[in-house]
A and B are shown apart, each in its own frame.
Chain A
């Protein structure tokens, strides 16, 4: 039964991922759709960050928010992304210690 669930989950996850490969192979988009698709990564980053970051520690939304704030500051200062991640983890660690 669990195997069946896994295979079903794999199929419904794979189809939305693969279909676009065939779409772009067949269809040429007008420029406004290209601009839309080019903006998708930035929009996705926004939608993935907020409000999800509030639930890093579900009962204390400020913890995730402060971890994010440190990440923003370190990123603006031009730190390497690994250091940004470490700085943010450390912040949350000390806030919840």
Chain B
């Protein structure tokens, strides 16, 4: 039965993509769980109910802004100020989404729109480092599995933090704050080993961010750093590269 055989290969390619997406999502899960638990603890202390703090993770799904939001709720900041500050802090995802969506040109809007909602710093960078899947058959399942792994870790961790309170010992939770940075480094270095210019792009972005963070909000400084660093790529990268 040729049609049966084809169906089976299709199904197994999809399964392989899903497994690959989950496995590439594991480091993100490791980074997200402790951070999300910490968020849950802080949000509870800020006076949010378990339902509210979990709902924020479900609907907003952007770590730094949720910490900020919970903190601002705790000190009684007005809604408009919190929402504007969130926009500023999360605007960097526009730049990231534009880069990621540009890679997914061959994929329909019905996939692109839900995938775009899953763009966080961590998921964007992991997805981008694995850019080959964008061109592969069933590659969209890779990105979906990757993003859902990160998403469920974040939502589940927030809920857990809200339920259990301070479960992670202070020294350990502080040490785990380095996890996501270590992951970013672990993503960057292999690319630098292949092509030194990726390191140059990153260093220019670092320096630009360091300079602009002296007088801009963190959110805008990261946007400027990312755009300026990326702009050097116009001259450094070749057409088919990266």
Binding site for B on A (CB under 8 A): 1-10, 12-14, 16-25, 29, 31-32, 34-53, 56-57, 64, 67-68, 71-72, 74-76, 78, 81-82, 84-85, 87-93, 96-97
Query: Given the complex, which residues of B lie within 8 Å of A49, measured CB to CB?
Result: 181, 184-185, 188, 202, 206
What is the interface residue range for chain B against chain A? 35 or more
In the assembled complex, the CB of A14 is this many whole angstroms from the nearest CB of chain B, namely 6
Residue in A3, A17, A20, A38 whose CB lies within 8 Å of B237: A38
Residue in B176, B177, B178, B237 whose CB lies within 8 Å of A35: B237
Residue in B31, B83, B210, B213 whose CB lies within 8 Å of A9: B83
Is B237 a contact of A88 with CB atoms below 8 Å? no
Residue in B91, B104, B125, B190 whose CB lies within 8 Å of A48: B125
Binding site for A on B (CB under 8 A): 26-27, 30-31, 48-49, 52, 55-56, 59-62, 65-66, 69, 73, 79, 82-84, 86-87, 90-102, 104-105, 109, 112-113, 115-117, 119, 121, 124-125, 128-129, 171-172, 174-179, 181-191, 193, 198-199, 201-206, 208-210, 213, 221-222, 225-234, 236-239, 241-242
Is A22 a contact of B172 with CB atoms below 8 Å? no
In the assembled complex, the CB of B29 is this many whole angstroms from the nearest CB of chain A, namely 10
